[in-house]
Amino acid sequence: MNLKGISFYLSLFCFPISFLSFINILYASYFDYFLSIDTYFTTLIISFVIGSGLFYFGKNSQKNINFIEQLITIIMTYLLTSLLVALPFYLSNYQVTFLNAIFESVSGLTGTGFSIFKNIKYLDPTLILWRSSSQWIGGLYFLIFLIIIFSNKSFNYKMTNLTYSGENNFNTRENVKDNILKIFIIYSVLSIIILSLLNVSGVRLFNSLNMSMTLISGGGFLPTDFIGKIISTNLQKIIFIFALIISMLNFYLVINIFNKKILVKDHKEDLYLIILPLILFAFIYFTNYKGIDIIISVISSLANSGLTVVQSGNNLSLYFLLITIIGGSLISNTSGIKLTRFYILLKITSLEIIKLISPNSVINKTIFNSDKKISDENIKISFLIFISFFLSLLILSSFLVIDDIGFEKSFKLSILTLTNTVNSEMFNMQNVNFTNLLTSSKMSLILFMIIGKIELISIFLIFKKILFKD
């Protein structure tokens, strides 16, 4: 195993934590939050020292790490950065235990949005900013991870033949670097655009900043306890919808829009992702929701954000939970099964039923009415993802039931954990007290938040490589 190569790439994900710490030091200094400065100064030093040590160890290594080593790097990145991001929570004046600090940091980095804090608006503003920053950088990291994985020539489990994933020379190292740089620039530009639009629409600057970082990453952390206190006008809701849509679409669509090279035939998946909320909207129009509020709830569920402007609980919580399982594009910040795989499952199942009824029927295995064909490998991996998701759901639900929080809550919380979706009013889950959960439950949620982001199949592949040498 190329440990030095893994070490080198791990170091690159440590230095941004130092940068974010520096930003918080400047913010705390400017607004005279002097009690916070030592916390972020300590985080800056520790993350910089660890990053420098890893960089020094791996600087002369072979940089071309294989697919399994890439998966290990991704998992190690989540573990290491979670420890670093947890430091400001642990060192704060709120008497946060180390486990609770880890819980909060993992929730942020994975874009889940579960929080041990209550009355968010009364928190230290630097800590609110740190929470939002953790989601922003977690979303950026995940997009970079997708680029790295989809660029690996030995990755036989991907669906690049079914979804647009860059140019034809995508697999070259130079192109990967270019695409990573593009993602960073466009991700940052989009964050600034969302921030500006929210601020111009009447949202105060601090809330706009935090909301922009949360929305672009598909996260659930808020600068207040309820988003309806921030987003109230129709214009603000439209901007909110725009930000959610960006987070769930194939990020290469966004890149192509910036490059002015967009072709509908390359992005049929994204077209369906835009049409699907309209269909779902029409389906539930009979409720007492306002039309725009329905759209927000549906898109927020698909984007695995879970944020809603509807404060009271409703009888559609299970319906929205099912939508979160679908998720967005394969190359996006969303979790869940993903729309492409879900489409494959539905289509292949329907085709098999047709074959039983009419064996001589001509079977059309195209996806999204395009010229792209669904291969047997695509079918296998889609079913494997589906099975592994519900296996994870069963395991996590079993762990949580032991905590005496009830079967229904355990089941709902498991779905939200595996889809990295915040426990909002839309799911009737806003009253979960994560601080009071058993240690075993918190550790289970931490583990499965990470699994939900990187998918259980990644763990299977690593174990397969370790246990079965080929």
Give the pLDDT confidence of 417-455 residue by residue, as tens digits. Answer: 999 999 888 888 877 889 989 999 999 999 999 998 887
Any domain includes 66: no
Any domain includes 68: no
Spatial contact of 175 and 167, defined as CB atoms under 8 Å apart:
yes
Does residue 284 have a pLDDT over 80?
no
Q: List the structure tokens of 345.
A: 């499952």
Spatial contact of 250 and 329, defined as CB atoms under 8 Å apart:
yes
Does residue 394 have a pLDDT over 70?
yes
Find residue 373's DSSP bridge partners: 366
CA distance 300 to 55: 39
Task: Compute, in degrees rounded to 10, the torsion defined by CA atoms 458, 461, 466, 470.
Answer: -150
Q: How many domains does the chain have?
A: 1
Q: What is the domain range of residue 278?
A: 97-470
Read off the pLDDT of residues 317-327 as tens digits, 9 standing for 90 and up.
888 888 899 88
pTM value > 0.85:
yes
Any domain includes 313: yes
**pLDDT averaged over every residue in the chain:** 82
Q: List the structure tokens of 250.
A: 């194939």
Any domain includes 184: yes
Any domain includes 296: yes
CA distance 414 to 412: 5
Any domain includes 75: no
Does residue 369 have a pLDDT over 80?
no
DSSP state of 287: S
Any domain includes 44: no
Does residue 260 have a pLDDT over 80?
no
CA distance 191 to 210: 10
Any domain includes 72: no
